[in-house]
Amino acid sequence: MRGMNDLMNLKDSKKMIQESTRKHEVLYGVVDIGGTKIIAGIASDDALLATKRISTDALKGPDDITKRIAATLTELKEELNLSGSTLSGIGVSVPGPLNTKEGIVHFTGNLKWVNYPVAERLRAECGGISVHIDDDGNCAGLGEAWYGAGRGMKQMVYITVSTGIGGAVIIDGQVYRGHQDLAGEIGHMTIIPNGPLCSCGNYGCLEAIASGTAIGLQGKQLLLQGKSDIVASLSNGRMDEVSAETVFLAAEQGDSACQTIIRNAGTYLGIAAANLAHVLNPEAIIFGGGVMQQSAVLFPIIASEMNRHLFKIQQDRIQVKAAELGDKSGLWGAKRLIASLTKKI
Amino acid sequence: MRGMNDLMNLKDSKKMIQESTRKHEVLYGVVDIGGTKIIAGIASDDALLATKRISTDALKGPDDITKRIAATLTELKEELNLSGSTLSGIGVSVPGPLNTKEGIVHFTGNLKWVNYPVAERLRAECGGISVHIDDDGNCAGLGEAWYGAGRGMKQMVYITVSTGIGGAVIIDGQVYRGHQDLAGEIGHMTIIPNGPLCSCGNYGCLEAIASGTAIGLQGKQLLLQGKSDIVASLSNGRMDEVSAETVFLAAEQGDSACQTIIRNAGTYLGIAAANLAHVLNPEAIIFGGGVMQQSAVLFPIIASEMNRHLFKIQQDRIQVKAAELGDKSGLWGAKRLIASLTKKI
């Protein structure tokens, strides 16, 4: 009986969704392309109706990926009994430097795309409908600004702390892009002049100090220098087993060297947030990304350090918040992106 | 005959101005209130027609100052043969934290104003015409954006390096104000974590490292520690004779300790500029203020340090420029401020 009920519920749910989307008559494809996974989904104006994860392991090259995304969107429509409906457009969140106007991804590390015209190819695979792309930081920021922790705010800054550090500056509900579409490169603000080398070639960038990669690297150094028995035990003494997760876990288990690494990362994230607060005076600075999800300990350090650097009248008037949409912020942002470009809202 | 010609020219000039302003039919009062001097002027839509400096030495208290400003604007109109014309409004550039909406200056150091309703008082003295105020950084930035080094740019950042360090973020030709009207506090970005104490109570702010006051303070330290014969000679060994000017002069005369102070100030200004470039991706970062006027040596250091921190695609696409309007940028900005608020342009 349980199974029967579930089936009924599923059917009812599908019917409701179908009616709801018929009423709205607007459906979007939304895609979040990450380094190791891709999520595709179908969204209405106010809901993610269904999503599906695509593993990139078995896929060969970029065209294989766009074909698979197109096929997945078709599958999702079928599953929702929406095969007859046409998508109004597809919004795509992608990593790496890109050209939003031309829909070209210049470079992605993990997927090894070089100057790949993802928008044009996906458009071709999906019957010529409108496809727009933006980078993962901007999409996640846009998602949080409209549907997450930044709902109702005019100005906010989104910072994603993950393998790298990125983000978005949101003004009047839109991604502020700057002169070359390069605004919001928060991870490459210099926080410690002549600090650690960054992947960008400079020294002392926030990303080189407080990203997941930087935290993991400092954990590896502890192992190499024999300064943490807990890290050695958690990793079985293997360098390639030490990651940011290891450092957080060791800190939780009382390892003081790892606690210092996390305190430093939080402190520098707080200084970066204070600098952004002084320049942009936003309503909130919202932190998302994998590293932030892991650590309840990082957040109070960031907030207290940021407030330490602010004027009295800014303190507690500029919120430090955690992102609310988890790994869906990019999809929500992709929805807002394509909705705003196809409906001119 | 020379004198006669000059007199004719003056009359011709006044007549031309009068005709020109009659044609435009819009005149503004513009006021730049500084720590030690006040400049009042009459502007048309495209020219500063006349300006006059008011010494604050003999003035007693804020109401005395607003009375004197009103009287000076009347005098200037008379001198321009424009006594019959009505000003469309008055734009005022003021130092210190303020409330632009209510026209109140919360605090100024040198003038010792506390919560002074300068807009309301000046309005009362000037027959009830519209008076709007903004802080000196925003006004100077707005002036440069519309009539100076930033003409035609959509996004620019203005940094004033003077006794303190301030500035403005200009987006789409308007001052970007933020949530609490506190955006653009560029001098209080932390550049050296745990660096020198700043007047704001924090440590390592740009203002505490690279302002005129900070440069002068480092010069005084050289004198105190006996580390610069040139500074000792220029100041006759007196601490109160050592200022930023002394440091620049000593550097010019080959003093290596002073050259280091200036190189450091330029380096940190360049890092701040790079951070702003990464966050805002503006067309230009424009430097003004007394310290910048003095030093041809500072500018190349700032530009080269900024570019060192930028991605290749940003280098030379984000300009570092000197302000072009000198001590008139605030007046031009006050003109733009009042023009935009009274004409809704």
DSSP letters along B167-212, please? Answer: EEEEETTEE--TTTT-TT-GGGSBSSTT-SB-TTS-BSBHHHHHSH
CA pair distance A10, A25, nearest whole angstrom = 21
Q: Identify whether residues A186 and A279 lie together within a single domain.
A: yes
Comparing alpha-carbon positions, the chain A residue that sits nearest to B274 is A189
For the segment A125-142, the average pLDDT, to the nearest whole number, is: 96
CB within 8 Å: A191 and B193: yes
Residue with the bigger pLDDT between A5 and B226: it is B226
Long-range contacts of B241-249 (CB under 8 A, 24+ apart): B242/B216, B243/B212, B243/B216, B243/B219, B244/B212, B244/B213, B244/B215, B244/B216, B244/B219, B244/B291, B244/B294, B245/B294, B246/B216, B246/B219, B247/B215, B247/B216, B247/B218, B247/B219, B248/B215, B248/B294, B248/B295, B248/B297
Comparing alpha-carbon positions, the chain A residue that sits nearest to B97 is A313
Q: Identify whether residues B224 and B313 lie together within a single domain.
A: yes
Which residue among B202, B279, B311 sits closest to A184, beta carbon to beta carbon? B279
Q: Identify whether residues B158 and B77 lie together within a single domain.
A: no
CB within 8 Å: A282 and B193: no
Residue B337 lies inside a defined structural domain of this protein: no
At B242-300, the pLDDT tens digits run 999 999 999 999 999 999 999 999 999 999 999 999 999 999 999 999 898 766 899 99
Q: Identify whether residues A154 and A276 lie together within a single domain.
A: yes
Q: Identify whether residues A23 and A80 lie together within a single domain.
A: yes
Residue A224 lies inside a defined structural domain of this protein: yes
Question: Does the pLDDT value for residue B2 go beyond 50?
Answer: no
For the segment A10-15, the average pLDDT, to the nearest whole number, is: 61
Q: What is the 3-state secondary structure (H, E, C) of B204-243?
A: CEHHHHHCHHHHHHHHHHHHHCCCCHHHHHHCCCCHHHCC
Comparing alpha-carbon positions, the chain A residue that sits nearest to B267 is A193
CB within 8 Å: A190 and B154: no
Comparing alpha-carbon positions, the chain A residue that sits nearest to B317 is A180
Task: Note down the domain range covering A65.
Answer: 2-135
Cβ contacts of A168 within 8 Å, gap of 6 or more: A137, A138, A140, A141, A142, A157, A158, A175, A176, A184
Residue B338 lies inside a defined structural domain of this protein: no
CA pair distance A116, A257, nearest whole angstrom = 43
Comparing alpha-carbon positions, the chain A residue that sits nearest to B154 is A179
CB within 8 Å: A182 and B314: yes
Q: Identify whether residues A107 and A198 lie together within a single domain.
A: no
CB within 8 Å: A180 and B271: no
CATH number at residue A35: 3.30.420.40
* Model pLDDT, residue B280: 98
Q: Which of A57-66, A158-167, A202-211 has the lowest mean pLDDT?
A: A57-66
**A171 and chain B in contact, CB less than 8 A:** yes
Residues in chain B with CB shorter than 8 Å from the CB of A199 are none
Which residue among A193, A274, A279 sits closest to B183, beta carbon to beta carbon? A279
CB within 8 Å: A309 and B281: no
CA-based torsion, A212, A215, A221, A224: positive or negative: negative
- Where helices occur in chain B by DSSP H, the ranges are 2-24, 61-79, 118-125, 136-147, 206-210, 212-224, 229-234, 244-252, 256-280, 290-294, 298-308, 329-343
Residue B331 lies inside a defined structural domain of this protein: no
Beta carbons within 10 angstroms of residue B35's beta carbon: 16
Measure Cα distances from B322 to B294, B296, B318, B326 in Å. Answer: 12, 10, 13, 9
Compute the nearest-CA separation of A179 from chain B (Å): 5
Q: Identify whether residues B160 and B279 lie together within a single domain.
A: yes
Q: Identify whether residues B83 and B197 lie together within a single domain.
A: no
Single out the residue in A105, A135, A165 at which a domain terminates. Answer: A135
At B289-345, the pLDDT tens digits run 989 876 689 999 999 999 999 999 899 899 999 999 999 999 999 999 999 998 754
* Contact between A191 and A271 (Cβ < 8 Å): yes
* Model pLDDT, residue B1: 42
Beta carbons within 10 angstroms of residue A100's beta carbon: 18
* Model pLDDT, residue A12: 62
Measure Cα distances from B53 to B29, B50, B155, B163 in Å. Answer: 14, 10, 32, 20
Residue B72 lies inside a defined structural domain of this protein: yes
Residue A339 lies inside a defined structural domain of this protein: no
Residue B142 lies inside a defined structural domain of this protein: no
* Contact between A167 and A157 (Cβ < 8 Å): yes
- Where helices occur in A198-297 by DSSP H, the ranges are 206-210, 212-224, 229-234, 244-252, 256-280, 290-294
* Contact between B77 and B17 (Cβ < 8 Å): no
Q: Which of A61-70, A207-216, B21-30, B87-96 has the lowest mean pLDDT?
A: B21-30
The token duo for A74 is 């078709």
Comparing alpha-carbon positions, the chain A residue that sits nearest to B171 is A178
Residue B342 lies inside a defined structural domain of this protein: no
**B60 and chain A in contact, CB less than 8 A:** no
Residues in chain B with CB shorter than 8 Å from the CB of A184 are 279, 281
Single out the residue in A108, A135, A162 at which a domain terminates. Answer: A135
Single out the residue in B67, B102, B135 at which a domain terminates. Answer: B135
Q: Identify whether residues B219 and B118 lie together within a single domain.
A: no
Q: Identify whether residues B206 and B306 lie together within a single domain.
A: yes
Q: What are phi and psi of B194, to 5 degrees?
A: 60, 30
**How far separated are the first and last CA of chain B, in Å rounded?**
46
CB within 8 Å: A271 and B311: no
CB within 8 Å: B314 and A180: yes
* Model pLDDT, residue B9: 57
Instruction: Produce one character per residue of B146-185: b if its CB has 16 or more CB atoms within 10 Å, e if not.
Output: bbbbbeebebbbbbbbbbbbbbbbbbebebbbbbebbbbb
**A184 and chain B in contact, CB less than 8 A:** yes
Q: Identify whether residues B172 and B28 lie together within a single domain.
A: no
Beta carbons within 10 angstroms of residue B13's beta carbon: 12
Q: Identify whether residues B190 and B305 lie together within a single domain.
A: yes
Write the ipTM.
0.89
- Element containing residue B50 per DSSP (H, E): strand B48-55
CA pair distance B225, B154, nearest whole angstrom = 48
Residues in chain A with CB shorter than 8 Å from the CB of B200 are 311
CB within 8 Å: B180 and A313: yes
Rg of chain A taking only CA atoms, in angstroms? 21
- CB pairs < 8 Å spanning A and B: 122
Q: Whose CA is closest to A92, among A114, A115, A70, A71? A: A70
CB within 8 Å: A182 and B281: yes
**A210 and chain B in contact, CB less than 8 A:** no
* Local confidence band at B35 (pLDDT 50, 70, 90 cut-offs): confident
Q: What mean pLDDT, rounded, does chain B reach?
A: 91
CB within 8 Å: B313 and A154: no
**A266 and chain B in contact, CB less than 8 A:** no
CA pair distance A69, A40, nearest whole angstrom = 7
* Structural domains in chain A (count): 2
